[in-house]
Amino acid sequence: MTGGGRRPPPPDASRVTAAAAADRDLPASGLRGYLAFLRAHPRMLAFGVLLTLFSSFGQTFLIAIFVPRIIDAFGLGTASFGALYAAATLCSALTLPFFGRLLDRVSLRTFTLAVGTGLALSCWLLATAVHVWMLFVAILGLRLTGQGLLSLTASTAMARGIAEGRGKALSLSQLGYPLGEGLLPLLVVLLMYAVDWRLSWAILGTVIALLLLPAVASLLREPGAARPASESLGHVPRRVRLLADPAFVVLLPAMVFQPLVLTALFLYQVPLAEHQGWTLEFIAAAFIGFALARMLASLAFGPMIDRVGATRLLPVLHVPLLLGLGVLALSSAPWVAWWYLVMAGVSTGFNGPMMTALWAEVYGLDALGEVKGTVATFGIFSTAVGPVLLGWLLQSDIGFDVVLPACAAWAAVSIAITLAVRPAFMRRARR
């Protein structure tokens, strides 16, 4: 960990200690434990779920519904739109470290309201765009504020705002992701049946302005939410230079493995289904298993992170995905589709709370926004590279017979990497 010297205790240390003691009295796990935890932190948890839910407006699964109409409206080819979308995604990723540092210095309420306003404006810009450059700016805004900053703000706020029970807080806040994935596509399709695609985006922007912004202002109306993180923590945030940290650099291949591989396999699920001899309807139905497993795994692993610690659990991160990809590489039996997607859901559900808790333990809370912004840059970059790489491999006649065993091998290497860096991370967490 970069930076040195002892940190002075926050000015409200007695209240923090009392709150921590109250949290430790809550049941550690199970439904009763979660209900008690919800009663103890209703505003902050509602804030986290709200942000992860509304991050759906900048996620690929929702934007993809509009892609055919956008391509027709702007006279673009599929490849041209793909290049524009990838460029917008990469540009948004490159700006995340800057906004992460800003989140460490600006009040949570001000930052979130600004991000929500940017998301609404991006929706309205897409609704009125008449030139390709306007389309690019609108998609950049959606990807930055929706996928990037709302997700970053939610996880950072959970890790900072709820020190005891951090794993449960991160797990509960992530319920907004499957809620969005399950509800919004159908609602958006119905909306597009009623009005055209441009008016649909105008309505979505209005929903953000009328629902998200007032809800954020109400949930964060307490005085603590109006203070910058540095003031709340009692000192000026440190700069954490992650790329100068050998343990972080060694962890990078394992860190980008899951988003890169799953994004690529999900995007090319049609040729994957054809290779395995499955129908598209069958593998689409199996995604129900992915969504349920993701939600249940997130809830199950949250209390485990609180009891054991994220640094100790780090090597477990890719074990479910190794089991899923390994079986997928060996068999094309119908049940394998469900097994692979359920294991992918378990790994995805574990990844969100696990990684945020890890950064909080290893690098501290004061620079968490900057750390998560930098990490998100690599994650989003990997989601842009993965589909391009897999598309090139398939076009070069390097089929899934090679790709799937290679992905399983990468999962095994990632587990070995996490085992190698865990001792260094545990030493830093103890400091």
Residues 195-231: tens digit of each pLDDT: 999 999 999 999 999 999 999 999 988 755 555 555 5
Model's pTM, two decimal places? 0.75
Half-sphere exposure of 288 (CA within 13 A, CB side): 4
Is residue 40 within 8 Å of 132, Cβ to Cβ?
no
- Residue 41 lies in domain: 36-236
The answer to the question of residue 201 being in a domain is: yes
Both 86 and 203 in one domain: the answer is yes
Residue type, 98: F
Domain boundary residue, one of 236, 267, 284 = 236
**How deeply is 292 buried, as exposed, middle or buried, from its count of CB atoms within 10 A (0-12, 13-18, 19+)?**
middle
Structural domain count, the chain: 2
Secondary structure letter of residue 11 according to DSSP: T
Q: What is the mean pLDDT of residues 393-404?
A: 88
The answer to the question of residue 21 being in a domain is: no
Q: How far apart are the first and last CA of the chain?
A: 10
The answer to the question of residue 11 being in a domain is: no
Residues 134-179: tens digit of each pLDDT: 999 999 999 999 988 999 899 888 888 776 777 788 888 888 888 8
The answer to the question of residue 5 being in a domain is: no
Please give the Cα distance from 7 to 1 (Å, whole number). 14
Secondary structure letter of residue 64 according to DSSP: G
How many residues are given for the chain? 431
Please give the Cα distance from 95 to 149 (Å, whole number). 10
CATH number at residue 408: 1.20.1250.20
Please give the Cα distance from 385 to 252 (Å, whole number). 15
pLDDT at 376: 82
